[in-house]
Structure 1
């Protein structure tokens, strides 16, 4: 399992995110085509998908999100400062046992008991891991996983890797209040779907599936982080108890990739994560590494389709992803099974 070991070996290497220009960017950025007309068409398609996503995540009509915000610009100015200075109060912290756990998983001599003991030494991680392992998105059968030892045995090293990635991020996905609940629930579902899609696309390209699962979770985690930080700012500036949808849409659009880079840096993820994020934000002409971008596109499209939201025609989807129809079909089928089996589930506080 060289991909998993390379992910583990680099996880705690010091790294700094590439400098980013904090101007408005898009979530989906098509690779530059040789034909300007083709690139313009691709940009229009992905722009539509992005608008559909934000309308669903924020639970408001897309037309409303195009209106001007009534909130003063000082809220966005303060958010930009906090991002630039790494002064975010809502950045998630990795569990103290994670370095030890990652080292154990990277060693070929580690046995199941050692991994189990490390997880059990962190009650919070233990609780989150069992909840994630028993969710329909990860549980391999109908039987409940009742212990950490059983989770490690049933899922194996490759399976427990995805569960650990989701478990350490899951607390950020849980809602703190009723107003945040729907956004958190939808962001969690979107994040898991994009992570799984990125993993599956990476497998097609014989790339590092383990790393792509985690990097596929970062945009959703970035959205939760931005929302919580902006809520703090609005309250401190006496703007309101919650950011209005137009302000939040602007903040997410403008700072989504900067938040992802900052999260990767805080978590000490290796340089290749920063490179993948930058490539998704600013793809080079005829770029070959598209697993994250294609994963985000496929995951978003399937989540919206499952939620019966406005979506893209089939031909448009084929136009914007770098996969053949024969490659797209099994990825979509796997995502559909995951979404159908997980229907009705949501993150718990």
Structure 2
């Protein structure tokens, strides 16, 4: 199952027979070159570089440890594969109770804002989360603090509140349960929000559904914490230890992130187009013109690494693996930098 970054290389491959399936997927995938002459091998190298840098940061480790010979983990991966394939994931996030009503209210372009506010206020914990998210650097539009749901809906508008609701629904599920996963959970959440906002901005430029792209842009981060927690359970049962090693986590994330993302979307009853966006990122087709999620993941990943002062993809290589004009890329990067800089 392809990973996020190996989509990128796919976009640059000329028409030729598909290679045989490999035992491990990559993080990013692509299809064909859109502007610049670049070989599939060069694109793959850039993709792998960005992937490795991201995993080093998320797992708080170095390239040498990430590349270390993998300990015996076949049984753990086999069990994870079984649980994903048969919907037996014990850590799969359950659908929030108010989600169906919220999805219906938010999808109604002529919907009543007061009705939306009433749905949110009916869930006190969701209300608190929405106000916290609305006042975070990722969404806050000015210096004034948003103090009520009505005020949030008024200031942010329907599109803005859609994204805040998506983030607020997922945020508690990614809160660290203990000190061992605290750093990973914190970084995964920041990465997810950054990629989601990047995908949203790109979708707006391309005239696509920006709110839907924001939501699906968050799902990989939620999939990451879900996979990590499931591995803890599996390792506890198989080894007597609940903390999987770094190489096992990295392998599982790269191999099963899309499967877990689709499973969450299915469990939550998200609309078919959300599944379609995920599938188009997992398995891009040649000459794909709209790739908001793909490019959002790439730009978001690079910018969050830049902000964290981590090893990164060289700036001059970014345009080789996105499907935007230089001007569009610059606009999205400027917007993302502004969001990240507000957190400093």
Contact 2:73 2:248 in 1 (8 A): no
**DSSP-derived class of the 1:142 partner:** coil
1:22-61 pair list within 5 angstroms: 23-33=23-33, 38-61=39-62
Q: Deviation at 1:138?
A: 0.8
**DSSP-derived class of the 1:342 partner:** coil
Q: 2 CA distance for matches of 1:22 and 1:134?
A: 44
Aligned residue in 1 for 2:188: 187
**DSSP-derived class of the 1:299 partner:** helix
1:110-259 pair list within 5 angstroms: 110-259=111-260
Q: Deviation at 1:266?
A: 1.0
Q: 2 CA distance for matches of 1:107 and 1:60?
A: 45
Specify whether residues 23 and 131 from structure 1 end up closer, same or farther in structure 2 by C-alpha distance, changes over 3 A only: farther
Query: Number of paired residues?
Result: 323
Contact 1:301 1:312 in 2 (8 A): yes
TM-score between the two structures when normalised by the length of structure 2: 0.89
Specify whether residues 51 and 308 from structure 1 end up closer, same or farther in structure 2 by C-alpha distance, changes over 3 A only: same
Q: Deviation at 1:212?
A: 0.5
Q: 1 CA distance for matches of 2:42 and 2:275?
A: 28
Specify whether residues 50 and 72 from structure 1 end up closer, same or farther in structure 2 by C-alpha distance, changes over 3 A only: closer
Which deviates the most, 315-324 or 48-57? 315-324
**DSSP-derived class of the 1:32 partner:** coil
Specify whether residues 42 and 219 from structure 1 end up closer, same or farther in structure 2 by C-alpha distance, changes over 3 A only: same
Aligned residue in 1 for 2:271: 270
Contact 1:199 1:213 in 2 (8 A): yes
Structure 1: runs of 5 or more not aligned: 1-20, 344-349
Specify whether residues 266 and 22 from structure 1 end up closer, same or farther in structure 2 by C-alpha distance, changes over 3 A only: farther
Q: Deviation at 1:151?
A: 1.3
Q: 2 CA distance for matches of 1:26 and 1:119?
A: 39
Contact 2:120 2:126 in 1 (8 A): yes
Q: Deviations over 1:85-120 (max 9, x none)?
A: 011111112221221222223335543322111111
Q: Deviation at 1:289?
A: 2.6
Q: Deviation at 1:192?
A: 0.4
Q: Deviation at 1:22?
A: 9.8
Contact 1:65 1:246 in 2 (8 A): yes
Structure 2: runs of 5 or more not aligned: 1-20
Q: Higher relative contact order at CA 8 Å, sep ≥6: structure 1 or structure 2?
A: 1
Contact 1:71 1:239 in 2 (8 A): no
Q: 2 CA distance for matches of 1:179 and 1:74?
A: 23
Q: Deviations over 1:20-60 (max 9, x none)?
A: x9952222112134999612211110111000000000001
Q: 1 CA distance for matches of 2:256 and 2:191?
A: 18
**DSSP-derived class of the 2:319 partner:** helix
Q: Deviation at 1:157?
A: 0.8
Specify whether residues 281 and 104 from structure 1 end up closer, same or farther in structure 2 by C-alpha distance, changes over 3 A only: closer
Aligned residue in 1 for 2:312: 311
Q: 1 CA distance for matches of 2:135 and 2:22?
A: 39
Q: 2 CA distance for matches of 1:302 and 1:108?
A: 33
Contact 1:294 1:321 in 2 (8 A): yes
TM-score between the two structures when normalised by the length of structure 1: 0.88
